[in-house]
Chain A
Amino acid sequence: MTGEQPAVVVRDVRKSYGELKAVNGVSFTVAEGEFFGILGPNGAGKTTTLEIIEGLRRPDSGEVRLLGESPWPRNVKLLPRIGVQLQASSFFEKLTAEEQLRTFGSLYGVSAGTAADMLELVGLADKANERENRLSGGQRQRLSIACALVHDPDVVFLDEPTAALDPQARRNLWDVLRAIRDRGKTIVYTTHHLDEAEVLCDRVAIMDRGEVLALDPPAVLVRGLDAPTHVTLQKGVLPVAEASALDGVEEAHEDEVSLTISTRRPAPVLSALAERGALDGLQVRTGTLEDVFLGLTGREYRA
């Protein structure tokens, strides 16, 4: 291990399908041991970017280095060191969950015991003997992730691993991903869940229309945004006019159920509300990646 060498280097990568520029000059570097997220709406070019790095697609131009090597053409030396979960799950036909893992494991020379451990890790131990096509969407997703991790790779690529997962499974998967990260592995993953990326990622790249719009740690992105804090109250505890007049309030408006106050100085606003005893149904929401996305693209984020 050189330690200094980045796990992934992407330099001005471009890929077009006919007229469509799926990836249009993307550059970034992922350090070894980093948890890197790629965010963006449908068709942003996330999968294309990821698969170019994995060596599944060939870029039209630009350079990719994966663990110091070029992934294209198929680089057999790299393959045991990377684990990939494709966006569409890919399984052998008519095999049970455990058999799938064992088969994929055998492609990397992994023992059958490891396969069983992996099932445990993703919480599928009780489904070991269930055929893949009889698993639920989320269970299949977890199996697919287990198949990507079975050979203990150094760099893990996950394409929307938390899509189709219920909140509980999502959180369990977060724990799995953090555990992998804590073992010094590098994770590059795509997601539509901005809140999740905020919690998990060291850095995120926000993509849209084949381009990277922003690239920073989530906290930096949110702070840099200078987005107002939203304070929400139950409707009727305070007239809108009175709320608008409070010190520090930029804007206040009311809908059927609640009163929302926007402010960049939440402290005086909150104490003023407390003085009036108007704290019923109080919720405070600070800026999020969603606001960042809105600010960058001028569009509401829709996953």
Chain B
Amino acid sequence: MTAFRTLSLAMFKGFVRDKATLFFTFLFPLMFLVIFGLVLSDGAADRTKVAVVGDGPIVSALRDSGALELEPHHDEDAAVRKVRDGDLPAAVIVRGQRLEVRFAQSDQVEAATVVGIVNGFVDKANLAATGQPPRYAFAAEKVEDAALKPIQYLTPGILSWGVAVSAVFGSALTLVSWRRKQVLRRIRLAPVSATSVLSSRLLVSAGVALVQGAIFVGIAALPLFGLTLSGQWWLAIPLLLLGTIAFFALGMLVGAFAKTEESASAAANIVVLPMAFLSGTFFPVDRAPAWLQAVSQAFPLRHMNDGMVDVLVRGKGVEALLVPASVLTGFTLVVAVLASRVFKWEE
């Protein structure tokens, strides 16, 4: 037991002292989360900003409605220059009773939005000025659809992917470097089982996965990204651990075949990258063509990802873990048996 503890500690130290590994485990997936989270963030949540010169009842109505974000300017030239430089899509200039909108030619969609909104407010003000009640009424209401906001599928996707990558690389590279540096032979000469040595490395991977989960979810939940977790999000923890074991086993298989660290990481990439793209890491699989969806069913990452989405953001219960857990367990068994068959102590 103390051997297991000391070994785990040794491997934990080896892990945290390796800057490159730390980067690829935590920062690299986080970069994807942040970049995709910002790029794909919901358009509605991000209001269009325009320059405003002057003030008046229509401008205050615009400001109160919150339909546009207003950037006040004193100088008309400065406001127009911002549009010309492409910093803002439009400038609204108040000249007494008259409202001028100068918009950028390049972004027609954005400009049309601004023109439409401003026009609507001018019409409303005109109607109010006549004192007549409006003849036609218009109402708009949001509908919660099944399609998730990007951050809601990005977070479970990138978390599954990040955990898979660090588990595969962690075990494959450890195994290969130990074999190359003769650590495996040295361990073979000590009265410990290979299993206890491997499980201490697995323990480190499991700990890492939990920390990844906490960090990624924590950051995605910041107001900037706006992840909202569903009630039974903690069901993600057993799924995270199962996934770690499955991908750790996969790494063992890669490490059993690979002779050098370089070939191990190349092989691990070849295994993990296509799987990541086809399993819904960066976009929901249900938007992919049907045949691709069928293919992706073969990947354990796809099932881990589905389970993650279900329990983290769709509010599903334990029953949602049934399929992912069975697939991951089956995968682990098959791959672990294969890996132990091809395992070599030395080159």
Q: Is A109 an interface residue (CB 8 A)?
A: yes
Contacts of B13 in A (CB 8 A): 94-95, 99
Q: B residues 180-197 with Cβ under 8 Å of A?
A: 181-183, 185-192
In the complex, are the beta carbons of A86 and B190 less than 8 A apart?
no
In the complex, are the beta carbons of B183 and A91 less than 8 A apart?
yes
In the complex, are the beta carbons of B6 and A102 less than 8 A apart?
yes
In the complex, are the beta carbons of A76 and B191 less than 8 A apart?
yes
Contacts of B187 in A (CB 8 A): 107
In the complex, are the beta carbons of A80 and B191 less than 8 A apart?
yes
In the complex, are the beta carbons of A106 and B6 less than 8 A apart?
yes
In the complex, are the beta carbons of B181 and A90 less than 8 A apart?
yes
Q: A residues 210-248 with Cβ under 8 Å of B?
A: none
Q: Is B2 an interface residue (CB 8 A)?
A: yes
- One digit per residue, 1 when the CB lies within 8 angstroms of any chain B CB and 0 when it does not, for chain A 83-94 equals 010101111111
Q: Is B64 an interface residue (CB 8 A)?
A: no
Q: Is B62 an interface residue (CB 8 A)?
A: no
Q: Is A34 an interface residue (CB 8 A)?
A: no
- Please give me the residue from chain B that is nearest to A105 by CB atom: B6
- One digit per residue, 1 when the CB lies within 8 angstroms of any chain B CB and 0 when it does not, for chain A 41-57 equals 00000000000001110
Contacts of B2 in A (CB 8 A): 106, 109
Q: Is B40 an interface residue (CB 8 A)?
A: no
Q: Is B18 an interface residue (CB 8 A)?
A: yes
Contacts of B18 in A (CB 8 A): 93-94
Majority-rule SS of B interface residues: helix
Q: Do A103 and B6 contact each other (CB < 8 Å), given the known contacts A80-B191, A93-B177, A94-B14?
A: yes
- Please give me the residue from chain B that is nearest to A103 by CB atom: B10
Contacts of B188 in A (CB 8 A): 56, 74
Most buried by B among A79, A104, A105, A107: A107
Q: Is A82 an interface residue (CB 8 A)?
A: yes
Partner of B191, one of A88, A93, A99, A108: A108
Q: Is B70 an interface residue (CB 8 A)?
A: no
In the complex, are the beta carbons of B190 and A91 less than 8 A apart?
no
Q: Do A54 and B189 contact each other (CB < 8 Å), given the known contacts A94-B18, A103-B6, A103-B7?
A: yes
- Please give me the residue from chain B that is nearest to A51 by CB atom: B185
Contacts of B142 in A (CB 8 A): none
Counting contact residues on chain B (CB < 8 A from A), the size range is: 20 to 34
In the complex, are the beta carbons of A86 and B185 less than 8 A apart?
yes
Contacts of A76 in B (CB 8 A): 191
Contacts of A94 in B (CB 8 A): 13-14, 17-18
Contacts of B177 in A (CB 8 A): 93
Contacts of A106 in B (CB 8 A): 2-3, 5-7
Most buried by B among A82, A94, A104: A94
Contacts of B192 in A (CB 8 A): 107
A80 to B3, CA, bound (A): 14
Q: Do A86 and B6 contact each other (CB < 8 Å), given the known contacts A94-B13, A94-B17?
A: no
A103 to B6, CA, bound (A): 6
In the complex, are the beta carbons of B14 and A90 less than 8 A apart?
no
In the complex, are the beta carbons of B182 and A86 less than 8 A apart?
yes
Most buried by B among A86, A93, A94, A109: A93
Q: How far is the CB of A150 from chain B (nearest CB, A)?
A: 10
A156 to B324, CA, bound (A): 51
In the complex, are the beta carbons of B190 and A79 less than 8 A apart?
yes
A294 to B6, CA, bound (A): 50
Contacts of A88 in B (CB 8 A): 181-182
- Please give me the residue from chain A that is nearest to B5 by CB atom: A106
Contacts of A92 in B (CB 8 A): 10-11, 14, 183
A105 to B3, CA, bound (A): 8
In the complex, are the beta carbons of A56 and B14 less than 8 A apart?
no
Contacts of A104 in B (CB 8 A): 186, 190
Q: Do A90 and B186 contact each other (CB < 8 Å), given the known contacts A99-B13, A109-B3?
A: yes
- Can you sample 9 A-B contacts with CB below 8 Å? A80-B191, A86-B186, A93-B14, A93-B18, A95-B13, A103-B6, A104-B186, A104-B190, A107-B191
9 additional A-B pairs beyond A86-B186, A92-B10, beta carbons within 8 Å, are A56-B189, A76-B191, A89-B182, A90-B182, A103-B7, A106-B2, A106-B6, A108-B191, A109-B2
Minimum-distance CB pairs A-B, first 6:
A106-B6, A90-B182, A107-B190, A94-B17, A79-B191, A103-B10
